[in-house]
Amino acid sequence: MNTYNRVKQEFIKKWITTLHMFDSSVEHPTNVTERRNAIRLSSDIAIAATRTGSTVWSRALISRTRNKTTDKPVARRILRKARNRMKNRCTTLRRNGHFKAKIGVRKRTEMLKSLVPGGELIDDKDYLIRETLDYIVYLRAQVDVMRTVAAVDSVSGNLPNDRRNK
Amino acid sequence: MDLTQGFGDRSGGESVTGLVESLNFSDEIRQLVTMPPENTGSFTALLEMPATQAMELLHFTDTSCSQATGDIAPPTLHHPFGTLALPSDSLLMDRAGRFSVIASEQNGNISGDSNSSANVKTEPTETDSMAENHNRNNCSGKRKEREKKVKSSMKKSKSSEEAEKLPYVHVRARRGQATDNHSLAERARREKINARMKLLQELVPGCDKIQGTALVLDEIINHVQSLQRQVEMLSMRLAAVNPRIDFNLDSILASEVSFM
């Protein structure tokens, strides 16, 4: 349990940083869709950066986010900082084996590969399942934190700042 | 003011602790989450080298420390000549003993030739080779470390004088002789996958009752999809409520931390 809570704490700290950076870079966007994109991208960057260590999904998530925010120099700075902490080589390793996959399992692994970021680069089924396991943990942390933030935020959105002393 | 404050705290507390309890994390999952960083150091270092040199190193590190590549690395690397299968599993390492070693001094063929240098695979002391090669294997074992150090320079300058310092050991790889080894390795791999699937079953709620890999994968796919969709919806919700991107997170952080 402690690891999970620590993950959530790390995530929210990083998320605050990325949100601040996004906010300072962009002049007030009027569009809700833009805001939602910014929030989601910042959240994705934060959760990928929370995963210290080299996992395929975290690196793929960061590089995928990079393609969407190339016009924001601040976002690039965030991504560079997050990327420097991990080795950003995502290479494909082919397996020289002869395992026969059942058709149902094969189709589903293809689908799982499309869901997990960076999954298409993984050929080994064992490795894919490990990555999925890791990814689910962090994805769930992301959802939990966002849900809590949304719940608290909707209740106390306009309150003055004396709540900080609580 | 007090009512809303209490409500906000309670809802935050309930959601956090309630969700935490419902997750039911087992020790293995926690181990898994923290294990990859330890094992990927050597693995990612390997990835930065071309396939041939990585292969040499992999085999060398396998014999010295079998945990080097760890669990997260796939068992084999693709060799350009397609004849080698690298052992990282302990079962597959028995295969290493079957590889025959042909010392380079015999044919006088030094690795100044670029092709042969690509075909190199260093070999531990236990081999099927003849007794006279045994001494050469020992020498090459010492030289393996030197080879590792000069590997980067070897890549660029494959001069003959370097080759004379380190006589390369040419290995002709044979495939796993008996099918027993092969099926053993296959079975080990399948068991590993099944163990991971069990862990995934524990992680994904409602997956315990399902038998069969395909249905479990279905559940996992649904779970991942629903989580991703939740992220989308929550970010839309947060964007709709707040006029600016940087919403009031400081106070939220204060109340969040108090529950962890």
> Domains plus CATH for chain B?
188-259 (4.10.280)
Q: Are A109 and A125 in contact (CB under 8 A)?
A: yes
Which residue, among B30, B46, B235, B260, would best test binding to A if mutated, counting the most A CBs under 10 Å from its CB?
Answer: B235
As given in the structure block, the two tokens for residue B95 are 């295969």
Residue B128 φ/ψ, nearest 5 degrees? -90, 5
What's residue B45's pLDDT? 43
CA distance A83 to chain B (A): 14
Identify the band that residue B258 occupies on the pLDDT scale cut at 50, 70 and 90: low
Residues of A within 8 A of B236 (CB-CB) are 32, 36
Q: Could you tell me which residue, B64 or B254, shows the higher pLDDT?
A: B254
Q: What is the mean pLDDT of chain B?
A: 55
Q: Hey, is the C-beta of A152 within 8 angstroms of any chain B C-beta?
A: yes
From the number of C-beta atoms within 10 Å of its C-beta (0-12, 13-18, 19+), residue B11 rates as: middle
Neighbours of A107 (CB within 10 A): 13
- Report the C-alpha gap between B255 and B257 in whole angstroms: 6
Which residue, B198, B240, B221, is CA-closest to A112? B221
Which residue, B106, B223, B218, is CA-closest to B172? B106
The three-state secondary structure class of B62 is helix
- Report the C-alpha gap between A139 and A43 in whole angstroms: 10
8 Å CB contact of A102 and B243 = no
Q: Hey, is the C-beta of A54 within 8 angstroms of any chain B C-beta?
A: yes
Lowest mean pLDDT among A24-38, A100-114, B89-103: B89-103
Secondary element (H or E) of residue B102: strand B100-103
Overall average pLDDT of the A133-140 stretch: 91
pLDDT tens across B217-235, in order? 888 899 999 999 999 999 9
Q: Radius of gyration (Cα) for chain B, nearest Å?
A: 27
Of B16, B238, B260, the CB nearest to A153: B238
8 Å CB contact of A163 and B5 = yes
pLDDT tens across B165-207, in order? 455 555 555 565 556 777 888 888 888 877 877 777 777 777 6
Residue of chain A with shortest Cα separation from B212:
A105
Overall average pLDDT of the A47-75 stretch: 77
- DSSP conformation class of A120: G
Q: Hey, is the C-beta of A68 within 8 angstroms of any chain B C-beta?
A: no
Write the ipTM.
0.76
8 Å CB contact of B239 and A111 = no
Which residue, among A163, A165, A166, would best test binding to B if mutated, counting the most B CBs under 10 Å from its CB?
Answer: A163
Which of B90-93's residues contact partners 24+ apart within 8 Å by CB, and which partners?
A: B90/B66, B91/B181, B91/B184, B91/B185, B91/B188, B92/B181, B92/B185, B93/B62, B93/B63, B93/B66
Categorise residue B17: left if φ over 0, alpha if ψ from -120 to 50, beta otherwise. alpha
Which of A109-112's residues contact partners 24+ apart within 8 Å by CB, and which partners?
A: A109/B217, A111/B221, A112/B217, A112/B220, A112/B221, A112/B224
Secondary element (H or E) of residue B16: helix B2-23
